[in-house]
Amino acid sequence: MTTDQTFIVIGAGQAGGWTAKTLRDEGFEGRVIIIGDENFAPHERPPLSKEVLLGNAEKEVCLLWPPGTLEDAGIELRLGESVAAIDTDGHTLSLGNGEIIGWNKLMIATGGRARPLPVDGADLDGVYTLRTIKDAEAIRARLASGANVLVIGAGWIGLEVAAAARKSDANATVIELGDRVCARALTEEMSAWVHALHVGHGVDIRLSTAFDRFEGDGRLERAVLSDGTAIPCDVAVVGIGLIPNTELAEQAGLVIDNGIVVDEHGQTSHPDVFSAGDVTNHPNPLLGRRVRLESWENAQNQAINTAKAMLGTLQPYAEIPWFWSDQYDANIQMVGLSEDWDETVIRGDRDAGEFIEFYLKDGEIQGAAAINNARDLRFTRRMMTSGRKFDAVSLANPQIKLQKLMKG
Ligand SMILES: Cc1cc2nc3c(=O)[nH]c(=O)nc-3n(C[C@H](O)[C@H](O)[C@H](O)COP(=O)(O)OP(=O)(O)OC[C@H]3O[C@@H](n4cnc5c(N)ncnc54)[C@H](O)[C@@H]3O)c2cc1C
């Protein structure tokens, strides 16, 4: 394959790493350069709010491949360097230090950054967000036994932080503006289960609660709610969502709409510029709509698919979204983005913490969420793409294997 071409990948996260690796795996012999502003080889983030936060693993657990793998494949890593601007007409980009590099094809895998909380005291020592290795290590150092940890936002990251705090024997309080935890991703019933899980582990969850400010003398001492209540805390972790890093693409004149708009091959509005991962707004033919996902599996698989498209192998990216979280001894998994269903079927034992909920519309499975039942959830994906209808009574009966229902 062409050796005189240069493909540049911006971002050394999961999508960036997989793009570069796939280009080589697929036989591209030209120059591949990854430019990443974090000074760490391509890595994934899920361990940051799990093993790394718990102190059970060091940051190296996040590496996508053993050190040297990409270099051995002839991929140039320029870490700790930031792309400042892209010139799509000239097919060049400029780095923060002014250096200009030419490219034939470009991958923008710039992911996102944690949404900051615009309140007084957010710059105090002890107030964090959690996106990077640096964030995780700083928070980890503060999760000591007896510490008072305040989490703002009862989404996935916030709840994983609360779980890590409790496992470290710190006190944990979670403040949430909405009226239930993980409201964007979970049904009311599932949300209630996760809520009870945390309360059972001693987390103080305060729903429908507005936050006003942090206070302290240089260092965080307390948080103040809108009703004036003061909560003493040594550490606060703000987990209120992600801002996609679209600025570079926007400046380059690409179409942006809640992320960089790409087609089913990851191609942006410029034919030689591609994008994958958290930063993209992409069509999902299985869901029949556009989505911007913040998920490990999407960052990997969309990047692989898009790298192939950069080489001319066009296969529409079409996967049912899948996401997981680990909190205490509960493994939570979801498949699909259930927005419209008329029946919920529970299979397994909610009280024992081992079950799956199916969301059905006219007998077709729209999505599912499972607690400690990865096996059934994995198979559900196949059921969802089968186009078949399922009987609620049989689905609810754990004595009947899901595989059998597919055969019936
Ligand atoms: C703490 C945490 C826990 C998570 N846990 C789970 C989980 O349990 N399950 C799950 O499915 N998903 C989880 N996720 C989500 C998953 O990690 C993300 O979906 C995934 O990391 C997205 O990868 P990405 O490559 O698109 O973006 P990123 O990982 O954000 O990588 C983008 C990279 O590009 C860099 N960059 C940006 N702009 C520039 C520039 N101008 N120049 C150079 N570099 C630039 C960024 O600094 C970053 O290093 C978690 C995320 C976090 C933060």
Measure the CA–CA gap between 183 and 309, rounded to whole angstroms: 35
Q: Whose CA is nearest to atom 29 of ligand 1?
A: 13
Are 119 and 213 in contact by the 8 Å Cβ rule? The answer is yes
Closest residue by Cα to residue 157 from 101, 89, 76, 241: 241
The end-to-end CA distance of the chain, in Å, is 48
Check whether 390 has a pLDDT greater than 80. Answer: yes
Atom of ligand 1 nearest to the CA of 49: 1
pLDDT tens digit string along 21-35?
999 999 999 999 999
Could you tell me the domains of the chain?
6-113+243-310 (3.50.50.60), 116-238 (3.50.50.60), 329-407 (3.30.390.30)
pLDDT at 29: 97
The position carrying tokens 């209808």 is: 389
Atom of ligand 1 nearest to the CA of 84: 41
Atom of ligand 1 nearest to the CA of 17: 25
The region that residue 184 occupies, defined by phi over 0 for left and psi between -120 and 50 for alpha, beta otherwise, is alpha
- How large a percentage of the chain has pLDDT more than 70? 99
The number of residues making up the chain comes to 408
Q: Whose CA is nearest to atom 50 of ligand 1?
A: 46
The position carrying tokens 């958290």 is: 278
pLDDT tens digit string along 226-242?
999 999 999 999 999 99
pLDDT tens digit string along 121-177?
999 999 999 999 999 999 999 999 999 999 999 999 999 999 999 999 999 999 999
pLDDT at 2: 62
Measure the CA–CA gap between 268 and 252, rounded to whole angstroms: 11
For residue 348 the two structure tokens come to 């397994």
- Pocket lined around ligand 1, Cβ cut-off 6 Å: 10-16, 35-38, 44-46, 48-49, 82-83, 109-112, 130-131, 157, 245, 248, 277-279, 294-297, 299, 323-325
**β-sheet bridge partners, residue 375:** none
Check whether 1 has a pLDDT greater than 60. Answer: no
Q: Whose CA is nearest to atom 52 of ligand 1?
A: 45
Q: Whose CA is nearest to atom 19 of ligand 1?
A: 295
Check whether 339 has a pLDDT greater than 90. Answer: no
Phi, psi of 377 (to 5 degrees): -65, -40
Check whether 408 has a pLDDT greater than 90. Answer: no
Q: Whose CA is nearest to atom 20 of ligand 1?
A: 296
